[in-house]
Structure 1
Amino acid sequence: MHYGYLISVLDQIIKEAPDKYSKLYNKNETDIEKINQCRARAFIHLYLKVSFGITDFSEREHTLTDKGYDGGIDGYHIDQDNKVIYLIQSKFRANSHNFENKEISLDEILSMEISRILEGEEHDEHGNTYNGKIKQLQREISNISDIARYKYQVVILANLRGYSVHQLKRLTDGYPVDVFDYEKTYNGLLFPVLTGNYFTASDIIIPIDLSNKSSGSKISYSVETKYSECEITVLFVPAIEIAKMMRKYKNAILKYNPRSYLDMDGRTVNDAIHTTIIGSNTNEFALYNNGITMLSEETNINEKIGQKNKAQLRVKNPQIINGGQTSFTLSRILEENEAKAEDVFNNKEVMLKVITVSECEVEKKLQLIDEISVATNKQTPVINADKFSNDEYHKNLQNKVFNLVGLLYERKRGEFSDGLKDGYIKKEQVIERNFFWRVFFASNGKINLGFQKRLFQKNKFPSLEKITDREIARASTGVKVHNALSIGLNAHSQKIRKDLYAKVFIATEFLVNAKDASNDDAIQASIPVIEDVWELFISTAKDNPDSAGYINKVDRKTGLPTRHFSLEKYLRNSRFEKEFIHFIDLRRDEINAILSRCINEQVSSIL
């Protein structure tokens, strides 16, 4: 599943290639060998995009050196902020087995002629002239005025196991090595790009227009709180600068925000922002919008930058804790109107409130952030469940679920919005948090818990240490079973069909031990068995005169007492779960035999 997500991302990156790169990235290519060559280049693009926040395709392509006589270097990046030059070698594998198991050979690493290239040699060890991109790298390094302050880092995008840090350095002329094996690729490159949470802002600079601000660029105010002393800075900034910031940093700048971008749930507010920006040539947006609240560790404003009516705002380690919907919507407007962005955003500003928090204990800081977030949120209400979305418990569970079974557990509303918009993932691949827990409980035999509403809002879950890998595997199978059973049911039907979760338990109880249990064909073949087991169970319950599903009524015409079996009543009764599991245990061998035959022979069952 992980590799499938990776291929989807790489193929989408290929589609983003401008027409001038059509020879390198043929979007209509059908030759699988050439497709894999495109994916190999896109793999380096993925690393550059996630690790350094380079969103522009051409900017990334500029630093790819992978072709003949490249000295074993496939790409590079010069990080001017941190004074590090990254030299990349990548080995993309064309199938999941090789990607996760095949290692790069030592000969391939030894082929990196790092010292020769950095020393300015024009030819490789065999006398061949280095290609133009390697010479470009040499020129760019030679043009760095303070090159003495820079360090070098070798990056290997491939599996390489069993070697110590010192051994790897000996293979790369003494330079430190960072290895992105398949696990680090899935966790450190793939998952962050799916959630739009990959490149963290350290410092941001926002230009400010002073031409219509007779009283100065800002209002500042010191506030003493029970947690820490804070400095509040309020000013109006160009809306386009917020859009650019959000486009670059995405969800990485919303870590403390209780939710991410809400496409559908926030449509009314988002549409209003869109209309005000697009449909007006004047600055009504500054009046209508409630503004953005940003957290900062250090804030500076300089009004003397050598430009008339201009100033700069610097914010260290910024995090938006309110106004995320506004910021994200502005970035979407920018993406949709790239060619005419200056006209669309001309003179439009948004109020920015920057809260600079003095150093204090982490726990106190987080408590203060939580209280500010709740108090300042007005436009799109924060529901109680959102407040738990940033708990370390749910962050760790999300990582565990993705690592083990590749499920995209949506702990925070809207966090996969960017992956959906960019076509990296499909809507049905995102597992809504309440749905995940219903299936998790049901597939692991706690069916009554699976029936409850607002599970996430109650936030009463087993400790992470007690959740086993097997239970998560069952939940993964349970999601597929639930989706297969739900085909043809409308949303209303699914809400009242509580028997779906009982059927999920039947399937996971037996499929989890079957070969290829999560295979779609195996699940489809098991559906008739699941339905038959359920019908037999209900028939047995109806035959039991003491069943909790019976309702005593009086016939209106005859006045005589009657009994009616209600499935809804039975499902709500606390006895249901115990009786259902007891029934399954009694027929375990029979069900298992029939289910195995159906999966192996792809035939229907009759109990």
Structure 2
Amino acid sequence: MSKYQTLLNILDKIRDESIETKFKQKYQPDKADIEKVNQARSRAFIHLYLLVSHGILDFTEREHFITDGTQDGGIDGYYIDTDKKVISLIQSKFRTSQSNFEQKHITLEELLSMDVDRILNGETTDEKGNDYSGKVLQLVREIGKIEDVARYKYQVILIANVDKGLKLVANKLFGKLPVIIFDFDKCYQRLVFPVISGTFFNASDLSIQIDLSNKNAGSKISYPVNTSLGEAEITVLFVPTIEIAKILTKYKNSILKFNPRSYLELEGKKVNIAIRDTIVSQETNEFALFNNGITFVSNETSINERIGQKSKAKLMLKNPQIINGGQTAYTLSKLLQENDYSKAEKIFENKEVLVKIITLNNPLGSEFENSAVQLIDKISTATNQQTTVSSADRRSNEKKIIELQRVIYDRFGLLFERKRGEFGDGISNGYIADEQVIERNLLVRLYYASLGRISNCTGKRPFLRFDDVEQLVGDLDSLDRIYFGYLCLLGMTNTVSIHRKRGTFVKLLFLIEKYKPHNISEYKEVASSAVKALTHDWEAFISFGERKNPNLISTFIDRQSGETITHFNVGGWMVSSHLMDDIRAYVSQEKNEA
């Protein structure tokens, strides 16, 4: 499945959200009417931007900001960010084929159709005197109602491919407003990938508010701590469990970036059952006693107890991340999702959880960032003692591992699962298929197999050494060999599960050496043909190996028949140091004979 097809799956899922709304007819046309289906997908494309970039989960709320239609002044959507004081004006160009989506550019005429100056100046008609649509007039009214509008900045969002020439003049066309471009590649990286991995928000965009509604809401302990990065502060308090459930339901993997595990990988653990039982079966607050709590890291923490509501307070965390207690948060979110809100409120009523917030006062950025990440990783490792965390789990957040994931996705559309379960959302929602996800240990086995290091493929839990990762990120030839081997493995086994059989990886190495084409676009077709020819090829290759390695041939007398039997030690040959040379010699011989 291509990245473009994954995009279509996401857009169709967004269209399905309209079924229970008054907009159903617009987004659910007859499937046979391809033109209207594409129009609906075009609008859903703007929904996707609003969902991922601004975290608007509700379909109807997103629809409010979509202006696409006749007399729209060239503006397809907008968003007024009251927190950041930014007004975004959006033009989107959805293309109905993969080739057009990745190659077709927006035209100068299409850019000039955006009446940015007129609309921001409060005009209600275009230059010809025609009234703007009701949605555009709605935008004009909403800007006019902003009391501190002078503090707001404006930006133009182009969700389209823009050629170099237009990029140079784009901001001049809109009165020197900043122009942010989402070309096809950025759409795949910044819109599609976050949806299938459950990471809708960048860390810098995460700000959450928590209601502290018990009578001791203001009770907390704060303690300053000196670290190698300067002063940090630890804040400890009890928080209503329903507020934690809301947070993880909304942010999912985005708030677990420094946690060694992902949102859906937390499912099915025994500890989750105990957490659930304590919440559901108890009407009193034993949960606060039994649970170890949740640990956040934050760049800025503030608690306001004067919010005009008796016995309530607000806790604000800037750039929060859960580094311990992910299972607790996950289980609470599942309970919230499984019940309607009124029932959930009763289940969670008067039940609290201990929350520890580690505030790193220095802003993340420049040289501080790497050191801060290392400190957070150490805190995460130290606090994740309740459940065993493997070395591979701990290493999943290393910068080079994250970069490797990006390179593999960009080049092949393949999803390298650096954290177990991180693409569970994408699979469960039907955005992607199982075979699009390559489990981290399988990727490592394929890497070593492609190098001829077969003995490294059969260990229980192989994982790349850091120097291997560093080399692999920039080694496109090795990545191509891994990808072709993976396609062959899918054809051989029709499964994506890990195979540790030595023979499987030798066969993959053989197929890579003999069949891997130069053009990536040919990989799938060639891999399919190679697997079909494997039985014949393999028998011929074994015979070749037997002739080349007489030292691995033994003879013995069969006790029953009395016949002399020769045996070629295939297993020993497969782990021999000259296996790769033999494969290459065989492939060269085949080519010469052809």
Which residue in the other structure is 1:37 paired with?
A: 39
Which residue in the other structure is 1:576 paired with?
A: 579
Aligned partner of 2:446 among 419, 439, 451: 439
Q: Structure 1 residues 409, 306: CA separation in 2 closer, same or farther (over 3 Å shift)?
A: same
Which residue in the other structure is 2:480 paired with?
A: 473
**SS at the partner of 2:27?**
coil
Aligned partner of 2:536 among 528, 532, 536: 532
CA shift digits 1:537-557 (9 cap, x unpaired):
223334566344x57889888
CA apart distance, 1:305: 2.3
For structure 2, which runs of at least 5 residues remain unmatched after alignment?
Answer: none
Calculate percent identity across the aligned residue pairs.
45
Which residue in the other structure is 1:604 paired with?
A: none
Letter matched to residue 354 of structure 2: M
Q: Structure 1 residues 129, 240: CA separation in 2 closer, same or farther (over 3 Å shift)?
A: same
Deviates more, 1:222-231 or 1:111-120: 222-231
Which residue in the other structure is 1:75 paired with?
A: 77
1:423 aligns with 2:430: yes
Q: Distance in 2 between matches of 1:10 and 1:223?
A: 47
CA apart distance, 1:110: 0.9
Q: Structure 1 residues 83, 514: CA separation in 2 closer, same or farther (over 3 Å shift)?
A: closer
Q: Structure 1 residues 569, 106: CA separation in 2 closer, same or farther (over 3 Å shift)?
A: same
Q: Distance in 2 between matches of 1:187 and 1:449?
A: 32
8 Å contact kept, 2:490–2:496: no
Which residue in the other structure is 1:208 paired with?
A: 212
Which residue in the other structure is 1:48 paired with?
A: 50
TM-score by length of 1: 0.88
8 Å contact kept, 1:269–1:379: no
Q: Distance in 1 between matches of 2:425 and 2:400?
A: 23
8 Å contact kept, 2:407–2:473: no
Aligned partner of 1:372 among 372, 376, 379: 379
Which residue in the other structure is 1:103 paired with?
A: 105
Q: Distance in 2 between matches of 1:4 and 1:568?
A: 42
Deviates more, 1:566-575 or 1:286-295: 566-575
Superposed counterparts of 1:140-151, under 5 Å: 140-151=142-153
Aligned partner of 1:172 among 163, 171, 174: 174
CA shift digits 1:484-505 (9 cap, x unpaired):
1013x896xx735322222223
Which residue in the other structure is 2:462 paired with?
A: 455
Deviates more, 1:278-287 or 1:410-419: 278-287
Superposed counterparts of 1:196-345, under 5 Å: 196-199=198-201, 200=203, 201-211=205-215, 217-225=219-227, 228-263=230-265, 266-340=268-342, 341-345=344-348
Q: Structure 1 residues 166, 335: CA separation in 2 closer, same or farther (over 3 Å shift)?
A: same
CA apart distance, 1:272: 3.5
CA apart distance, 1:95: 0.3
Q: Structure 1 residues 576, 11: CA separation in 2 closer, same or farther (over 3 Å shift)?
A: same
Which residue in the other structure is 2:355 paired with?
A: 352
CA apart distance, 1:241: 1.4
Q: Distance in 1 between matches of 2:518 and 2:477?
A: 13
Superposed counterparts of 1:477-556, under 5 Å: 477-487=484-494, 495-513=499-517, 518=522, 520-542=524-546, 546-548=550-552
1:9 aligns with 2:13: no
8 Å contact kept, 1:438–1:451: yes
CA apart distance, 1:128: 2.2
CA shift digits 1:303-360 (9 cap, x unpaired):
2322211112122221111122322333333233344432333222221111123439
Which residue in the other structure is 2:403 paired with?
A: 396
Aligned partner of 1:386 among 376, 390, 393: 393
CA shift digits 1:200-245 (9 cap, x unpaired):
34432211123267xx522223334455443221111112212222
CA apart distance, 1:119: 2.2
Runs of 4+ in 1 over 6 A off after TM superposition: 551-563
Q: Structure 1 residues 359, 560: CA separation in 2 closer, same or farther (over 3 Å shift)?
A: farther
Q: Structure 1 residues 506, 565: CA separation in 2 closer, same or farther (over 3 Å shift)?
A: closer
Letter matched to residue 13 of structure 1: I
Deviates more, 1:5-14 or 1:361-370: 361-370
TM-align CA RMSD: 3.0
CA apart distance, 1:135: 1.5
Letter matched to residue 342 of structure 1: E
TM-score by length of 2: 0.90
Which residue in the other structure is 1:126 paired with?
A: 128
For structure 1, which runs of at least 5 residues remain unmatched after alignment?
Answer: 594-607
8 Å contact kept, 1:477–1:517: no
* Corresponding pairs, count: 585
CA apart distance, 1:287: 3.0
Q: Distance in 2 between matches of 1:490 and 1:79?
A: 43
Q: Structure 1 residues 460, 500: CA separation in 2 closer, same or farther (over 3 Å shift)?
A: farther
Q: Structure 1 residues 375, 52: CA separation in 2 closer, same or farther (over 3 Å shift)?
A: same
Q: Distance in 2 between matches of 1:275 and 1:406?
A: 41
Q: Structure 1 residues 124, 394: CA separation in 2 closer, same or farther (over 3 Å shift)?
A: same
